[in-house]
Amino acid sequence: MPLRIIFMGTPEFSVATLRAIAGAGHEIVCIYTQPPRPAGRRGLELTPSPVQHEAERLGVEVRAPLSLRGSAEQEAFRALGADVAVVVAYGLLLPPAILEGTRFGCYNGHASLLPRWRGAAPIQRAIMAGDRETGMMIMKMDRGLDTGPVALTHRIGIEPDMTAGELHDRLMDVGADLMVEALARLEQGDLSLTPQAPDGVTYASKIDKTETRIVWSRPAGEVHDHIRGLSPFPGAWCEMVVAGKAERLKVLRTTLADGNGVPGVVLDDRLAVACGEGAVRLLQVQRAGGKAVAAEEFLRGAKLGKDTRLA
């Protein structure tokens, strides 16, 4: 028989799994998501999450509580009589009463190879650290932060110039298929769990705006990983001087390049920039208030030639 499922998720990353579960024929009895948030240029419009939009399309009840700590919310959760809760990037802490509020518990789709990169930003942190491999894991949640036993794993390589956005999209699709497989095994009573290794634990803290500025004095490999790990959002940035004024330039795509020089100095007419060791070539950039463009298009409208210094 199909499982009765509570789905809990918020961003676009969660939507692929929600669609896959619905397509697999399971009964989604309720969908939990974060409340609508201010959006738009002035931040005045309250915008429902991508998961809420999908829930409405599917015609499933949506709940968006600010917290799950209250006894009333916990009892309402239990009253749904679900077999299992599926959690993908929900964004709220699940207290014990929620973790234990379904027949089989809560299963989480997490975008790292646990115990490496527990926490909020595993995709960005893996790239920023120069990892060559990551993956999706289906984990049974317990009271710790991403500490529960693992049910299924799918590994993928991180290509040298891959951005966080590209890795996000690959893992999103992998995670959807993996969760469907896990639910099928759970339904058949054939889903085994393996405790996480005690060694190799790292934490993927949220990206802070104070760490988005490019530090050209770092080695080229670290600069490159920093840039692609923050692309497309929130984006790594530097400053260039235009008509005597400093202007912020977001750098969205780079590759390693030949050359050495004073960190931050443009080495040629194709936007190779010197780092502390080696150089990176800027491939895609975005000026303040503008759209993302390839370096060639950017150079047609910006006087940023050899020996220009970026800060």
- Helix ranges (DSSP H) in 129-193: 164-188
Give dist(CA 77, CA 101) in Å, integer: 7
283 annotated ligand binder: no
Helix-helix angle 164-188:12-23, to 10 degrees? 30
The letter for the amino acid at 106 is: C
112 annotated ligand binder: yes
Residue 41 in contact with residue 66, Cβ under 8 Å? no
114 annotated ligand binder: yes
CA angle 13, 153, 24 (to 5 degrees): 60
Length of the chain: 311
**18-44 burial by CB neighbour count: b if 16+ within 10 A, else e?**
bebbbebebebbbbbbbeeeeeeeeee
Give dist(CA 208, CA 211) in Å, integer: 6
CA proximity to 208, closest of 284, 280, 124, 291 = 124
115 annotated ligand binder: yes
Residue 110 in contact with residue 196, Cβ under 8 Å? no
Binding residues for (6S)-5,6,7,8-tetrahydrofolate: 112-115
Binding residues: 112-115
